[in-house]
Amino acid sequence: MENTKKVIKNKMINVTKSYLPPIEEYTNRISEIWDSHWLTNNGKFAKELESKLKEYLQVPYFHFVSNGTIALQLAIHALDLYDCDIITSPFSYVATTSSILWEKCNPIFVDIDPKTFNIDCKKIEEKITPNTKAIMAVHVFGNPCDVIEIEKIAKKHNLKVIYDGAHSFGVKYLGKSLLSYGDISTCSFHATKVFHTVEGGCCVCKDEDIDKKLNLLKKFGYENDDYELAGINAKNSEFHAAMGLAVFDHLDEMIEKRKFNSEIYDSYLKDKVTFQKKVDNIIYNYIYYPIVLKNENIVLKVINALKENDVMARRYFYPSLNELPYLKDKVSCPIAEDISKRIICLPLDTYLTKNDIEKICTIVLQTMERELWKKTKNHQYLW
């Protein structure tokens, strides 16, 4: 017989690998959906998931919706923010800005703190005008904004506060869920997040009237046969809720494994790269592993070197959102622009092994050293 050899390709390491629970934990719930024929429209599993997450977060009102972007749009609508200016951060995923634009409001960018990467509260008040109605701040990589100072500013100027907490599930600040701050906080349950429902998101609020409005907005604006306002379809399905319930049962072990992997990274990269400064009084979820390098050239060299070795890192976030080409009015945010050019998120998930992380760190450090050597060689006769 002719011998055949099986070609084994290198394992691709993506920037994240979505956690999947034991398949039977999901399929058991799918079997129930099959038997009931109740696929969406606030079914058993959607209700159960909302109840569990509300209890986990210790918040009064919680809404499970179809994704994190629609959650932001619902928040803007629920707070009656129309044709106004909304102060926001340029250092975020594009959905933060897109949600403001889609709701026909104007994003007013305030530059970020160079250490925490969050909106710089010292620069907010200078951007407030009579047309400013809200602040939409971002807990970047789950690192809490200065929620105390933002609340003071908002009260002083009669502004609403929305927090884009896309990365914040499982994070606690000052002893309570980070999603419990603001008039409305939102979160993403996309497959790349620590807790996910494949696609999904949520709105969290603490006011009963806002809760009722969110409930109407997410289901076309009607209750029974009464249409009370112009809503939209932001509901999520039983299949997504079933995944969320299965994933939720493993949340603590996932966060612990991500912490363990982050600490391995730290052991190799400490004092070699710049890290985001985490605020005090935080219980963290280890959602991403961002590093900041010396310049954009080194960033591009590191990304290419990793890619050549079947490792996919990500320029997250890039570009700075104030530089989006379709914005009418361009403003300068030099700190966000600088950080966005120098930041990389390295792979982080529950499936990474120590060997994987050693491989990644070796490539990063060797590439950085090679670029530094080139620069030194090119300038050695200048000294």
pLDDT tier for residue 254 given thresholds of 50, 70 and 90:
very high
Of 41-45, 225-229, 375-379, minimum mean pLDDT range: 375-379
Residues 6+ apart with CB under 8 A from 281: 173, 174, 175
Percent of the chain having pLDDT more than 90?
A: 92
Reference 153, options 182, 174, 177; nearest CA is: 182
Tens-place pLDDT, residues 27-54: 999 999 999 999 999 999 999 999 999 9
pTM over 0.75: yes
Please name the residue that has the structure tokens 């994987």: 356
In the three-class reduction of DSSP (H, G, I as helix; E, B as strand; rest coil), residue 244 is classed as helix
Of 52-66, 104-118, 334-348, 369-383, minimum mean pLDDT range: 369-383
**Which pLDDT value is given to residue 283?**
98
pLDDT tier for residue 5 given thresholds of 50, 70 and 90:
very low
CB contact at 8 A, 203 and 71? yes
CB contact at 8 A, 348 and 258? yes
Kindly list the distances between the CA atom of residue 15 and the CA atoms of 130, 193, 260, 350, in Å, as whole numbers in the listed order: 43, 11, 17, 12
Tens-place pLDDT, residues 107-162: 999 999 999 999 999 999 999 999 999 999 999 999 999 999 999 999 999 999 99
Please name the residue that has the structure tokens 């497959």: 191
**Which pLDDT value is given to residue 371?**
83
**Which pLDDT value is given to residue 225?**
87
